[in-house]
């Protein structure tokens, strides 16, 4: 959506296909980091964006076994928003879509599911999509796969990836919020179990972390055992566990960390999770995908307007974004190995040495900066060139 918006704004005709009828998917996290908020500022949209309901997190800390470590505090950052905004992702996506629709060059097709690529003489020249009205063919100078960690585009293009493994999956469900509940996002690790609860105003979005591949066993053990485990982790919600009265209310989210070797082919590029699936650790995946979009728009807008995108142009996008992605995934894997895996196997986890070191006054700014801005932050370099859409009655 962000790439579609930036390219349309820069005068490139864009069609965005979204397989669902709306953005009300609740499984993509809510963390809008300072890097993304800075992009909003550069687009002149920050003030309006911050009017959407959100909460602001100014310091992130974590209890790891007996160690309490500050992962990031943001007050020293050279940005307009020195906080992470927690905002449901459908609000974020609707906001971007609404602004993109102002341009005649932007076309968003909802309920259009990409099912295959159109290839001619070794070049990808568009996609096929299933819609309510039958099959749709969209031809394009460039097709961009932004379809997440189960990307159809990546699979259909036969792009090779390396899988770095993740020790966990997530059972995702809601419990109501009641007066007197904590306002904070709550995380708890204990006795080989782990839960994170995100405050979404009228309900808690709960992520119960389980060892990879163990969902069938958790289901076989039954709802009573599951409710007891959740209640054991979170006394706060014991009085409302009967809201989980069916497995239909508990969605399994599989976690993956992988990366394509080549993010492109002639006529095709992948970005975001489609190019590199991110773990939930650090809540950085959305922000990294936005950074990919900004970098891709900066590199592609002008060649796309001129009809001059070559394989070298696509290579440039990967070269720009590969190092920040590798670095971030490496950090996620270190955290997985040192915190999540021991916690899920019942071993008392402890903070890795580098995290303890980062608590020293001289070094403690570094993790906040990495978490908030990532490596090699991107800036909007594309101009606003597109004609505005005429208001319709
Ligand atoms: C359990 C879990 C929790 C997470 N929590 C966070 C968090 O709190 N903060 C954070 O920053 N990151 C989080 N992440 C990582 C984050 O979800 C991803 O890194 C991020 O969503 C990637 O963005 P994306 O735009 O590339 O893909 P997505 O957000 O997955 O978007 C892909 C879009 O493509 C659509 N689509 C898919 N297939 C098709 C198709 N065939 N045709 C048309 N449309 C299609 C989907 O409906 C979706 O709208 C979490 C990941 C997991 C697994």
Dist. CA 353 → ligand 1 center (Å): 31
Q: pLDDT by residue (tens digit) across 155-183?
A: 999 999 999 999 999 999 999 998 888 77
Q: In Å, how far from its chain's centre is CA 376? A: 18
Q: What is the DSSP letter of 256?
A: -
pLDDT of res. 27: 65
Token duo for residue 349: 């986890």
pLDDT of res. 202: 80
Higher pLDDT, 78 or 185: 78
Dist. CA 25 → ligand 1 center (Å): 9
Residue nearest to atom 50 of ligand 1 (CA): 280
- Band of pLDDT at residue 67, cut at 50, 70 and 90: confident
- β-partners of residue 169 are 210, 254
Which of 99-103, 343-347, 380-384 is least confident? 343-347
Residue nearest to atom 49 of ligand 1 (CA): 18
pLDDT of res. 344: 82
Distance CA 281, CA 55 (A): 19
> Cα-atom radius of gyration of the chain, to the nearest Å?
22
Distance CA 157, CA 242 (A): 45
* pTM assigned to the model: 0.93
Dist. CA 148 → ligand 1 center (Å): 5
Check pocket membership of 283 for ligand 1, CB cut-off 6 A.
Answer: yes
Check pocket membership of 232 for ligand 1, CB cut-off 6 A.
Answer: no
Q: What is the mean pLDDT of residues 124-150?
A: 97
Residue nearest to atom 34 of ligand 1 (CA): 147
* Residue 29 predicted with pLDDT over 60: yes
Dist. CA 249 → ligand 1 center (Å): 20
Q: pLDDT by residue (tens digit) across 88-105?
A: 889 999 999 999 999 999
- Band of pLDDT at residue 63, cut at 50, 70 and 90: low
Distance CA 251, CA 264 (A): 32
- β-partners of residue 204 are 175, 199
């Amino acid at each position: 959506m962000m790439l579609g918006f930036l390219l349309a704004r820069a005068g490139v005709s864009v069609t965005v296909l979204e397989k669902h009828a709306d953005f009300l998917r609740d499984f993509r996290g809510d963390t809008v980091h300072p890097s993304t908020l800075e992009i909003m500022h550069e687009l002149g949209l920050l003030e309006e964006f911050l009017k959407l309901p959100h909460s602001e997190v100014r310091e992130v800390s974590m209890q790891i076994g007996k160690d309490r470590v500050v992962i990031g505090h943001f007050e020293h950052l050279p940005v307009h928003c020195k906080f992470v905004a927690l905002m449901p992702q459908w609000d974020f996506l609707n906001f971007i879509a609404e602004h993109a629709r102002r341009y005649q060059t932007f076309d968003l097709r909802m309920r259009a599911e990409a099912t295959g690529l159109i290839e001619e003489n070794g070049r990808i020249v568009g996609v096929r999509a299933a819609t309510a009205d039958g099959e749709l063919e969209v031809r394009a100078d460039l097709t961009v796969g932004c379809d997440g960690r189960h990307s159809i585009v990546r699979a259909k293009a036969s792009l090779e990836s390396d899988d770095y493994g993740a020790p966990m999956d997530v059972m995702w469900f809601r419990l109501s919020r009641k007066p007197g509940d904590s306002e904070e996002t709550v995380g708890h690790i204990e006795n080989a179990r782990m839960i994170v609860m995100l405050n979404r105003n009228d309900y808690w979005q709960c992520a119960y972390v389980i060892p990879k591949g163990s969902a069938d066993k958790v289901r076989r053990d039954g709802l009573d055992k599951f409710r007891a485990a959740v209640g054991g982790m979170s006394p706060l919600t014991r009085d409302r566990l009967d809201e989980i009265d069916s497995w239909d209310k508990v969605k399994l989210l599989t976690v993956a960390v992988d990366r394509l070797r080549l993010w492109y082919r002639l006529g095709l590029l992948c970005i975001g999770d489609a190019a590199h699936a991110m773990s939930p650790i650090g809540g950085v995946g959305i922000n990294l995908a936005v950074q990919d979009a900004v970098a891709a728009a900066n590199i592609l807008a002008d060649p796309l307007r001129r009809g001059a995108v070559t394989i070298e142009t696509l290579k440039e996008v990967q070269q720009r974004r590969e190092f920040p992605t590798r670095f971030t995934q490496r950090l996620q894997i270190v955290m997985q190995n040192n915190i999540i895996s021991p916690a899920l196997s019942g071993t008392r986890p402890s903070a890795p040495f580098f995290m303890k070191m980062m608590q020293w006054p001289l070094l403690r700014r570094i993790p906040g900066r990495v978490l908030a801005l990532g490596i090699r932050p991107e800036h909007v370099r594309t101009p606003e060139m597109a004609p505005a859409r005429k208001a319709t009655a």
